[in-house]
Amino acid sequence: MKLTDLKQHFITLISDIYDPEECIALFNLTASNVLKINTNNYLQVQNSEVEQSFAEQVKQVALALSNGKPLQYILGETEFYGLKFFVNSNVLIPRPETEELVHLIIQTLRKSEKKDRKLLDIGTGTGCIPITLKKNLSNVQISAMDISLAALDVAKRNAARNDVDIHFIHADILTYKDEQLYNVIVSNPPYVKEDEKEFMHQNVLAYEPHLALFVSNEDPLIFYKAIAAFGVTNLADDGFLFFEINEYLGQDVHNMLQENSFRNIKISKDMQGKDRMVSCQYH
């Protein structure tokens, strides 16, 4: 089968779910991963024959996509802030807005003159936040926590893959206590309210771990309140707290932090103009 015919077959299989531009982008990613084709050279190779075994792999990817499975889970990896991460259904697929949170942290800490800082990431999932921070801030000692052992296995695999040293903690922040002081605490905790499910894409609901996504309508700030309380006792003087937030709950998070005596509270928007990041300090 020629590559151009394989591309058309791929697009036809998934066109009921994805729009034309997404179909092409998904094929390009699949071709790059499975066929090792540089999409910039596609025109030169479009009429070349694809080996049957590789063509079947591409068809299987298209079939899985047509059933709603995210491409990252199908391929088993994704890219985040220029790094490669292994992913499976035990962890959320890293989002572009989380890259923006990481970029904000890197910019903030690079302006600070403090050295040998300690940082804790709460609800680490793939480990994309702490691993990326360690790659860009070599003088920071980083720990990462998750309630899920399966998620921690993924994060440990990604730390090894990206050759960084992270201290992993298996714990539930709702009950966790320790005496360690941190200069930075960061978290992208579950923040999607149950009543927002109806507005979400079905492939997210069907495949991504609900434990890492959803909170009750009655107490949507449950994790933010627990992490803020932890920060009150475990942040060093002038320590930073960073959150990724639900775009509709920015003011609620701001008020909660203010009530807990945090200062320099700032809500930042993502590239889509949505309230997505909160930064503040304690003491």
Let me know if residue 74 belongs to a domain.
Answer: no
Of 73, 70, 92, nearest to 188 (Cα)? 92
Decide if 36 is inside a domain.
yes
Residue 237 CA to residue 283 CA, distance in Å, equals 5
3 state DSSP class of 48: coil
The pLDDT assigned to 165 comes to: 97
Same domain for 40 and 117, yes or no, is no
| Residue 208 resides in a domain | yes
- Residue 5 tokens, joined: 């015919």
User: Would you say 103 and 82 are in contact if contact means Cβ atoms under 8 Å apart?
Assistant: no
The count of domains in the chain is 2
Quick count: other Cβ atoms within 10 Å of Cβ 227? 24
pLDDT at position 176 = 97
Distance CA 120, CA 167 (A): 9
Phi and psi at residue 40, to the nearest 5°: -65, -20
Question: Which positions ≥6 away from 16 have C-beta within 8 Å?
Answer: 66
Residue holding tokens 């990462």? 144
Residues 13 and 145 in one domain: no
59 within a domain of the structure (yes/no): yes
Per-residue pLDDT of the chain (283 residues), as tens digits, is 999 999 999 999 999 989 999 999 999 999 989 988 877 777 788 888 999 999 999 999 999 999 999 999 999 999 999 999 999 999 999 999 999 999 999 999 998 767 779 999 999 999 999 999 999 998 899 999 999 999 999 999 999 999 999 999 999 999 999 999 999 999 999 998 888 877 777 777 778 888 888 889 899 999 999 999 999 999 999 999 999 999 999 999 999 999 999 999 999 999 999 999 999 999 8
Note whether residue 81 is domain-resident. no
For residue 239, give its domain range.
89-282
**Domain for residue 80, yes or no?**
no
As a whole number of angstroms, the distance between CA 186 and CA 216 comes to: 22
On whether both 150 and 275 belong to a single domain, the answer is yes
Is the same domain home to 51 and 94? no
Domain annotation covers residue 72: no
Contact 143, 207 (CB under 8 A): no
Residue 78 lies in a domain: no
